[in-house]
Amino acid sequence: MKALVLSGGMGTRLRPLTHSMPKQLVPIAGKPVLVHCLDRIRDAGITDIGIVVGERAKEIEAALGDGSQLGVRLTYIQQEAPFGLAHCVLIAREFLAEDDFVMYLGDNVLDADLGALMEPFLTHRPAAQLVVTKVPNPSESGVAEVDAGGVVLRVEEKPARPRSDLAMVGVYFFTPAVHRAVREIPLSWRNEWEITDAIQWLLDDGQEVRASVHDGFWKDTGRVEGILDSNRVLLDELAGELAEEPSELEAGVLDGESTVTGPVRIGPGVRLIRSHVVGPAVIGAGTVIEDSRVGPYTALGERCVLRRAGIEDSITLDGVEVDGVTGIRESLIGKAAQITQRPSEPGVNRLVVGDHTRMEVGA
């Protein structure tokens, strides 16, 4: 069994953050979303993984290397342009060979045991097995019509009148039968080779396609809201692990006036000075927190500096500085950003804002 992870998307909905980094490397709960995907694949016993990359290939390769640090073996597959999910299967033909494989979207977060999702595929071995979940707005997704026995009757991509409320969540299991399907389908109206069309081709060819329903959390992290929702879920998952980990706090890191409450992962070289951290939270290496409060569901990057600050339910990337600003909540703060108080003119805000930025300022 192999895995094919799709990581070629540009992340236009996350600009300006993704001007400087691929969306798949945006950290959630202390590590890139793509690494969370690879961890789940490895934990299911799959270690031979192909990663489809696009224009940001060098950055992804620099971050992941050959995969050995994650306990996997990575093969990078270049996609010259985003021509669709079925096109990814097409260009990965040499890597996939005649093996069964799981295709996993590298910007999706599921709170699922991939091994458990894979079991019915290994048992029945249909040509394809989909993972689906009930959604309130199926017309925005690829939709599967499934009978009571889990057999897929029909699939459609973003139908105007959905026959079902079961959306495909970005995890697909395939036998080599899919290779003929991706060769046979035409380009869609979006000028892409759609995986939905390839699955429908298998159905029209009389081959079996099954589905398993995922009732837990699923999110596409292509938007800020999806990233923050995923951060909460993954920090909750991490809380169980942290309860069993020894504390990394060493003498001199936590002064006598600071407190750490709940599950918190603290990196090496962190200093807490007259500050309070409430978990679940992750504090990156080399970060200094002084006269500040870090609330639950917060993941701070490395080498951040917080002074007289308050932040919760948020993510910061590396090198962020916050000075004199409290009440930061539900925020995603980019690398090396500086957030400071302007005490001389109360009620007046001075902003230096990049392209495609969205800001919400309190009245």
Residue pLDDT, tens place only, 7-18? 876 555 566 566
What CATH class has 2-222?
Answer: alpha beta
Predicted structure pTM score: 0.88
Average pLDDT of the residues in 25-32: 89
Look over the chain and give the mean of its residue pLDDT values, rounded to a whole number: 87
Q: What is the fold of 248-340?
A: UDP N-Acetylglucosamine Acyltransferase; domain 1 (2.160.10)
Largest CA distance in the chain: 73
- Per residue in 321-339, pLDDT tens? 998 888 899 888 888 888 8
pLDDT in tens, 47-70: 999 999 988 899 999 999 999 999
> What are the boundaries of each domain within the chain?
2-222, 248-340
Q: Which of 307, 294, 329 is nearest to 224 (CA)?
A: 329
Q: What is the pLDDT of residue 244?
A: 56
Residue with token string 């009389």: 206
Q: Is the dihedral of CA 136, 139, 140, 146 positive or negative?
A: positive
Q: What is the DSSP letter of 274?
A: S
In whole angstroms, give the CA distance from residue 341 to residue 324. Answer: 5
Query: What is the distance between the alpha carbons of residues 7 and 18, in angstroms, rounded to a whole number?
Result: 13
Of residues 109 and 20, the one with the higher pLDDT is 109
Angle between helices 33-43 and 57-64 (to 10 degrees): 50
Contacts of 184 (CB under 8 A, 6+ apart): 201
Distance from chain centroid for Cα 6: 12
The helix/strand/coil state of 115 is: helix
Phi and psi angles of residue 58, each rounded to the nearest 5 degrees, phi first: -60, -40
Which of 47-51, 167-171, 231-235 tops mean pLDDT?
Answer: 47-51
